[in-house]
Protein backbone atom coordinates (compact mmCIF):
# COMPACT_ATOMS: atom_id res chain seq x y z
CA UNK A 1 0.00 0.00 0.00
CA UNK A 2 1.29 3.48 -0.84
CA UNK A 3 1.52 5.71 2.20
CA UNK A 4 2.61 9.32 2.49
CA UNK A 5 6.18 9.78 3.66
CA UNK A 6 6.03 11.38 7.10
CA UNK A 7 8.74 12.64 9.42
CA UNK A 8 8.74 10.88 12.79
CA UNK A 9 10.48 13.63 14.77
CA UNK A 10 7.21 15.38 15.65
CA UNK A 11 5.53 12.40 17.30
CA UNK A 12 5.58 11.60 21.00
CA UNK A 13 6.62 8.16 22.21
CA UNK A 14 2.96 7.25 22.75
CA UNK A 15 1.82 8.52 19.36
CA UNK A 16 4.44 6.37 17.64
CA UNK A 17 2.72 3.20 18.84
CA UNK A 18 -0.39 3.33 16.62
CA UNK A 19 1.54 5.11 13.87
CA UNK A 20 4.26 2.47 13.53
CA UNK A 21 1.89 -0.50 13.85
CA UNK A 22 2.44 -3.45 13.51
CA UNK A 23 5.79 -2.70 15.17
CA UNK A 24 5.41 -3.80 18.84
CA UNK A 25 5.17 -0.96 21.41
CA UNK A 26 8.55 -1.66 23.02
CA UNK A 27 10.21 -1.33 19.64
CA UNK A 28 8.31 1.93 19.00
CA UNK A 29 9.90 3.25 22.17
CA UNK A 30 13.27 2.17 20.83
CA UNK A 31 12.59 4.13 17.65
CA UNK A 32 11.79 7.19 19.80
CA UNK A 33 15.07 6.72 21.63
CA UNK A 34 17.04 6.31 18.38
CA UNK A 35 15.54 9.54 16.99
CA UNK A 36 16.64 11.40 20.11
CA UNK A 37 20.15 10.10 19.61
CA UNK A 38 20.17 11.76 16.23
CA UNK A 39 20.43 8.76 13.89
CA UNK A 40 19.99 9.74 10.27
CA UNK A 41 18.49 6.58 8.87
CA UNK A 42 16.38 3.64 9.99
CA UNK A 43 19.24 1.36 8.98
CA UNK A 44 21.15 2.75 11.99
CA UNK A 45 18.48 1.48 14.41
CA UNK A 46 20.39 -1.68 15.10
CA UNK A 47 18.03 -2.99 17.76
CA UNK A 48 15.32 -3.47 15.11
CA UNK A 49 15.15 -6.38 12.71
CA UNK A 50 16.19 -5.97 9.07
CA UNK A 51 12.63 -6.40 7.83
CA UNK A 52 11.33 -3.86 10.33
CA UNK A 53 13.90 -1.29 9.29
CA UNK A 54 13.08 -1.76 5.64
CA UNK A 55 9.39 -1.43 6.32
CA UNK A 56 9.89 1.82 8.25
CA UNK A 57 12.18 3.21 5.54
CA UNK A 58 9.43 2.66 2.99
CA UNK A 59 6.77 4.35 5.09
CA UNK A 60 8.48 7.21 6.93
CA UNK A 61 11.38 9.65 7.06
CA UNK A 62 13.24 10.64 10.21
CA UNK A 63 13.49 14.31 9.37
CA UNK A 64 11.61 16.71 7.15
CA UNK A 65 14.14 19.53 7.44
CA UNK A 66 17.66 19.95 6.14
CA UNK A 67 20.59 22.01 7.30
CA UNK A 68 21.25 25.04 5.10
CA UNK A 69 23.97 27.60 5.58
CA UNK A 70 25.98 27.59 8.78
CA UNK A 71 27.68 30.78 9.97
CA UNK A 72 30.02 30.91 12.95
CA UNK A 73 30.85 34.13 14.79
CA UNK A 74 34.28 34.35 16.45
CA UNK A 75 32.44 34.97 19.74
CA UNK A 76 31.17 31.38 19.68
CA UNK A 77 27.70 31.92 18.22
CA UNK A 78 26.68 29.60 15.41
CA UNK A 79 23.70 30.44 13.23
CA UNK A 80 22.03 27.70 11.21
CA UNK A 81 19.62 28.01 8.37
CA UNK A 82 17.03 25.25 8.50
CA UNK A 83 15.38 24.37 5.22
CA UNK A 84 11.77 23.27 5.55
CA UNK A 85 10.05 20.81 3.26
CA UNK A 86 8.10 23.49 1.40
CA UNK A 87 11.10 25.60 0.39
CA UNK A 88 10.56 28.03 3.26
CA UNK A 89 13.47 28.33 5.66
CA UNK A 90 13.88 29.32 9.28
CA UNK A 91 16.87 29.92 11.54
CA UNK A 92 18.22 28.48 14.76
CA UNK A 93 21.18 29.64 16.83
CA UNK A 94 23.70 28.04 19.18
CA UNK A 95 24.81 30.51 21.84
CA UNK A 96 27.71 30.11 24.23
CA UNK A 97 27.94 32.34 27.28
CA UNK A 98 30.89 33.45 29.39
CA UNK A 99 30.55 30.44 31.67
CA UNK A 100 30.78 28.19 28.64
CA UNK A 101 27.13 27.14 28.85
CA UNK A 102 25.63 26.36 25.46
CA UNK A 103 22.06 27.29 24.66
CA UNK A 104 20.00 26.37 21.62
CA UNK A 105 17.68 29.10 20.34
CA UNK A 106 14.89 27.87 18.09
CA UNK A 107 12.15 29.44 15.98
CA UNK A 108 8.43 28.72 16.17
CA UNK A 109 7.33 30.43 12.97
CA UNK A 110 8.79 31.32 9.58
CA UNK A 111 8.60 35.11 9.75
CA UNK A 112 6.36 36.68 12.38
CA UNK A 113 2.90 38.24 12.26
CA UNK A 114 3.53 40.66 15.15
CA UNK A 115 5.67 43.05 13.14
CA UNK A 116 7.69 44.83 15.83
CA UNK A 117 9.32 47.85 14.20
CA UNK A 118 12.79 47.08 15.58
CA UNK A 119 12.98 43.41 14.55
CA UNK A 120 14.31 41.95 11.33
CA UNK A 121 11.98 38.95 11.56
CA UNK A 122 9.01 41.24 12.05
CA UNK A 123 9.94 43.19 8.94
CA UNK A 124 9.72 40.02 6.83
CA UNK A 125 6.06 39.45 7.43
CA UNK A 126 4.56 36.08 8.27
CA UNK A 127 5.08 32.91 6.24
CA UNK A 128 3.65 30.13 8.38
CA UNK A 129 3.58 28.35 11.71
CA UNK A 130 6.17 25.63 12.22
CA UNK A 131 5.10 22.12 13.11
CA UNK A 132 6.27 20.41 16.30
CA UNK A 133 8.65 18.17 14.34
CA UNK A 134 10.23 21.21 12.69
CA UNK A 135 10.97 22.61 16.14
CA UNK A 136 12.35 19.32 17.49
CA UNK A 137 14.53 19.03 14.39
CA UNK A 138 15.96 22.51 14.93
CA UNK A 139 17.03 21.34 18.37
CA UNK A 140 18.64 18.24 16.84
CA UNK A 141 20.42 20.29 14.15
CA UNK A 142 21.75 22.68 16.80
CA UNK A 143 22.89 19.80 18.97
CA UNK A 144 24.79 18.39 15.98
CA UNK A 145 26.36 21.79 15.32
CA UNK A 146 27.37 21.81 18.99
CA UNK A 147 29.08 18.46 18.53
CA UNK A 148 30.96 19.81 15.50
CA UNK A 149 32.12 22.81 17.54
CA UNK A 150 32.87 20.80 20.67
CA UNK A 151 29.95 22.02 22.76
CA UNK A 152 27.17 20.31 24.61
CA UNK A 153 23.77 21.98 24.48
CA UNK A 154 22.36 22.25 27.99
CA UNK A 155 19.64 24.90 27.67
CA UNK A 156 16.92 25.87 25.25
CA UNK A 157 15.39 29.26 24.57
CA UNK A 158 12.35 29.68 22.38
CA UNK A 159 13.32 33.11 21.17
CA UNK A 160 14.08 32.68 17.49
CA UNK A 161 11.85 33.77 14.67
CA UNK A 162 8.18 34.18 15.44
CA UNK A 163 5.77 34.61 18.32
CA UNK A 164 5.73 31.30 20.24
CA UNK A 165 2.37 31.83 21.90
CA UNK A 166 0.66 32.25 18.54
CA UNK A 167 1.71 28.69 17.79
CA UNK A 168 1.23 27.27 21.24
CA UNK A 169 -0.29 23.90 20.33
CA UNK A 170 2.68 22.82 18.22
CA UNK A 171 5.12 24.38 20.68
CA UNK A 172 3.64 22.38 23.56
CA UNK A 173 3.94 19.21 21.51
CA UNK A 174 7.57 19.95 20.65
CA UNK A 175 8.47 20.71 24.26
CA UNK A 176 6.76 17.48 25.33
CA UNK A 177 9.04 15.54 22.97
CA UNK A 178 12.21 17.45 23.88
CA UNK A 179 11.63 16.97 27.62
CA UNK A 180 10.53 13.31 27.52
CA UNK A 181 13.01 11.39 29.70
CA UNK A 182 12.62 8.41 27.34
CA UNK A 183 14.22 10.54 24.62
CA UNK A 184 16.04 13.88 24.67
CA UNK A 185 15.13 14.41 28.32
CA UNK A 186 15.93 18.11 28.61
CA UNK A 187 14.73 19.54 31.92
CA UNK A 188 11.76 21.94 31.74
CA UNK A 189 13.68 24.21 34.07
CA UNK A 190 16.23 24.75 31.36
CA UNK A 191 13.73 25.98 28.82
CA UNK A 192 12.67 29.61 28.46
CA UNK A 193 9.95 30.90 26.19
CA UNK A 194 9.85 34.57 25.22
CA UNK A 195 6.63 36.29 24.20
CA UNK A 196 5.74 39.71 22.90
CA UNK A 197 2.72 39.49 25.21
CA UNK A 198 -0.18 37.35 24.08
CA UNK A 199 -2.33 37.42 27.22
CA UNK A 200 -4.54 34.46 26.25
CA UNK A 201 -1.48 32.36 25.40
CA UNK A 202 0.18 33.12 28.74
CA UNK A 203 -2.97 31.93 30.54
CA UNK A 204 -3.23 28.84 28.37
CA UNK A 205 0.39 27.95 29.08
CA UNK A 206 -0.26 28.50 32.81
CA UNK A 207 -3.29 26.19 32.69
CA UNK A 208 -2.03 23.45 30.41
CA UNK A 209 1.72 23.61 31.03
CA UNK A 210 4.48 22.75 30.70
CA UNK A 211 5.72 25.17 33.39
CA UNK A 212 8.51 26.78 31.38
CA UNK A 213 10.47 29.85 32.32
CA UNK A 214 8.64 32.80 30.87
CA UNK A 215 10.11 35.99 29.49
CA UNK A 216 7.88 38.88 28.44
CA UNK A 217 9.24 41.47 26.00
CA UNK A 218 7.84 44.55 27.68
CA UNK A 219 10.14 47.00 25.87
CA UNK A 220 8.01 49.98 26.89
CA UNK A 221 5.50 50.20 29.71
CA UNK A 222 3.94 53.30 28.23
CA UNK A 223 1.02 51.91 26.34
CA UNK A 224 0.99 54.38 23.48
CA UNK A 225 4.67 54.02 22.68
CA UNK A 226 4.50 50.27 23.14
CA UNK A 227 1.61 49.88 20.74
CA UNK A 228 3.57 51.78 18.13
CA UNK A 229 6.63 49.55 18.62
CA UNK A 230 4.92 46.19 19.22
CA UNK A 231 1.69 46.08 17.23
CA UNK A 232 0.32 43.00 19.06
CA UNK A 233 -0.02 45.32 22.05
CA UNK A 234 -3.09 46.90 20.49
CA UNK A 235 -5.12 43.76 21.12
CA UNK A 236 -3.23 42.85 24.30
CA UNK A 237 -3.34 45.87 26.60
CA UNK A 238 -0.68 46.00 29.31
CA UNK A 239 -3.06 45.60 32.27
CA UNK A 240 -4.38 42.40 30.73
CA UNK A 241 -0.84 41.11 30.12
CA UNK A 242 0.13 41.95 33.68
CA UNK A 243 -2.84 40.03 35.02
CA UNK A 244 -1.89 37.04 32.87
CA UNK A 245 1.71 37.21 34.13
CA UNK A 246 0.47 37.29 37.70
CA UNK A 247 -1.68 34.28 36.98
CA UNK A 248 1.28 32.45 35.41
CA UNK A 249 3.38 33.21 38.44
CA UNK A 250 0.66 32.01 40.80
CA UNK A 251 0.26 28.74 38.91
CA UNK A 252 3.93 27.95 38.34
CA UNK A 253 5.71 29.70 41.21
CA UNK A 254 8.25 30.87 38.67
CA UNK A 255 10.03 34.19 38.54
CA UNK A 256 9.35 36.05 35.30
CA UNK A 257 11.81 37.91 33.11
CA UNK A 258 10.86 41.29 31.71
CA UNK A 259 12.85 41.98 28.58
CA UNK A 260 13.41 45.34 26.99
CA UNK A 261 15.10 46.09 23.71
CA UNK A 262 16.72 49.47 24.28
CA UNK A 263 16.31 51.79 21.34
CA UNK A 264 18.59 54.81 21.46
CA UNK A 265 16.67 57.99 22.28
CA UNK A 266 13.27 56.25 22.24
CA UNK A 267 12.60 54.14 25.32
CA UNK A 268 15.50 54.89 27.65
CA UNK A 269 14.35 58.05 29.45
CA UNK A 270 13.35 58.66 33.06
CA UNK A 271 9.62 58.53 32.34
CA UNK A 272 10.10 55.21 30.61
CA UNK A 273 11.99 53.85 33.61
CA UNK A 274 9.25 55.02 35.98
CA UNK A 275 6.55 53.32 33.90
CA UNK A 276 8.66 50.18 33.71
CA UNK A 277 9.02 50.09 37.49
CA UNK A 278 5.30 50.60 37.93
CA UNK A 279 4.58 47.69 35.61
CA UNK A 280 6.96 45.40 37.51
CA UNK A 281 5.41 46.24 40.87
CA UNK A 282 3.68 43.21 42.34
CA UNK A 283 5.42 40.76 40.02
CA UNK A 284 8.38 38.61 41.01
CA UNK A 285 10.52 39.68 38.07
CA UNK A 286 14.05 40.25 36.86
CA UNK A 287 14.76 42.64 34.04
CA UNK A 288 16.88 41.77 31.04
CA UNK A 289 18.03 44.73 28.98
CA UNK A 290 18.97 44.11 25.35
CA UNK A 291 20.71 47.01 23.58
CA UNK A 292 19.19 47.09 20.11
CA UNK A 293 21.10 45.01 17.57
CA UNK A 294 21.30 46.92 14.31
CA UNK A 295 19.09 45.89 11.43
CA UNK A 296 19.56 47.87 8.29
CA UNK A 297 16.64 49.89 7.01
CA UNK A 298 14.53 49.89 10.17
CA UNK A 299 13.21 53.21 11.43
CA UNK A 300 10.57 54.67 13.70
CA UNK A 301 8.51 57.81 13.23
CA UNK A 302 10.60 58.89 10.29
CA UNK A 303 14.00 58.38 11.93
CA UNK A 304 16.48 55.54 11.61
CA UNK A 305 16.74 53.40 14.73
CA UNK A 306 20.04 53.53 16.55
CA UNK A 307 21.80 51.59 19.26
CA UNK A 308 21.74 53.19 22.68
CA UNK A 309 25.08 54.61 23.82
CA UNK A 310 26.59 52.45 26.58
CA UNK A 311 26.06 55.29 29.05
CA UNK A 312 22.39 55.47 28.02
CA UNK A 313 21.92 51.77 28.76
CA UNK A 314 23.70 52.10 32.09
CA UNK A 315 21.67 55.14 33.11
CA UNK A 316 18.42 53.31 32.33
CA UNK A 317 19.60 50.21 34.22
CA UNK A 318 20.45 52.36 37.20
CA UNK A 319 17.03 53.99 37.26
CA UNK A 320 15.44 50.54 37.37
CA UNK A 321 17.84 49.34 40.04
CA UNK A 322 17.11 52.37 42.17
CA UNK A 323 13.50 51.26 42.07
CA UNK A 324 14.54 47.93 43.56
CA UNK A 325 14.59 45.87 40.37
CA UNK A 326 17.21 43.31 39.59
CA UNK A 327 18.67 44.08 36.17
CA UNK A 328 20.81 41.98 33.87
CA UNK A 329 22.29 43.03 30.53
CA UNK A 330 22.15 40.61 27.68
CA UNK A 331 25.54 39.74 26.28
CA UNK A 332 25.87 40.90 22.71
CA UNK A 333 26.63 37.76 20.89
CA UNK A 334 26.20 36.62 17.36
CA UNK A 335 26.20 40.04 15.72
CA UNK A 336 28.97 39.06 13.33
CA UNK A 337 26.63 36.49 11.76
CA UNK A 338 23.39 38.45 12.28
CA UNK A 339 22.45 35.80 14.82
CA UNK A 340 21.75 38.14 17.72
CA UNK A 341 18.25 38.92 19.01
CA UNK A 342 16.10 40.49 16.37
CA UNK A 343 18.49 39.84 13.50
CA UNK A 344 17.13 36.52 12.29
CA UNK A 345 15.82 36.29 8.78
CA UNK A 346 18.80 37.50 6.79
CA UNK A 347 19.72 34.14 5.28
CA UNK A 348 16.65 33.70 3.14
Q: Which residues bind ligand SF4 (CB under 6 A)?
A: 112, 114-116, 119, 121-122, 161-163, 196
- Are 130 and 107 a contacting pair, CB within 8 Å? yes
Name the DSSP class of 260: E
Interface with ligand SAH, residue 118, by CB under 6 A: yes
The residue (of 76 and 113) whose beta carbon lies closer to ligand SAH is: 113
Residue 28 known to be catalytic: no
Strands 102-105 and 303-304, by their bridges, are unpaired
- Residue 9 engages ligand SAH in binding (rule: CB under 6 A): no
Residue 250 bears catalytic tag? no
Give the end-to-end CA distance of the chain in Å, rounded to a whole number: 38
Peptide bond before residue 22 is cis, with ω within 30 degrees of 0: yes
122 versus 291: smaller Cβ distance to ligand SF4? 122
| From 46-54, 94-102, 171-179, 287-295, span contacting ligand SAH (CB under 6 A) | 287-295
Q: Which is nearer to ligand SF4, 115 or 146 (CB)?
A: 115
Of these, 64, 65, 123, 196, which contacts ligand SAH (CB under 6 A)? 196
> Whole-angstrom Cα distance, residue 73 to residue 291?
19
Question: Using CA of residue 219, residue 223, residue 225, residue 227, what is the dihedral sign?
Answer: positive
Residues with Cβ < 8 Å from 52, sequence gap 6 or more?
A: 23, 27
Which is nearer to ligand SF4, 36 or 108 (by Cβ)? 108
List 52, 73, 134, 259, residue binding ligand SAH (CB under 6 A):
259
Of 30, 52, 91, 163, the catalytic one is 91
Closest separation in Å from C-beta 160 to ligand SAH: 6
**DSSP string of 274-301, one letter each residue:** HHHHHHHTTS-EEEEEEEPPP-TT-EET
Q: Can you name the residues that pair with 126 across neighbouring β-strands? A: 111
Q: Active-site residues: which are they?
A: 91, 341
Residues of this chain that bind ligand SAH (CB under 6 A)? 118-119, 159, 163, 194-196, 217, 219, 259, 261, 290, 292-293, 295, 341-342
Amino acid sequence: MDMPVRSLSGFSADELIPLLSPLPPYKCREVFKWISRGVRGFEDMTSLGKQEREDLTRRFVLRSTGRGKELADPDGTVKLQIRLHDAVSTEAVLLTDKEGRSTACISTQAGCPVGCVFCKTGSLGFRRNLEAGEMVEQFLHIREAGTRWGREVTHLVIMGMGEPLLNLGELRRAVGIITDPRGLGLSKRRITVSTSGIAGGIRELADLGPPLRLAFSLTSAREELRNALVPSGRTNPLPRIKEALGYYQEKTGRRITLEAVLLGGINTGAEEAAAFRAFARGLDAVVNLIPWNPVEGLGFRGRALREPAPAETEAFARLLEQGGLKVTRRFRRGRGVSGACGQLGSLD
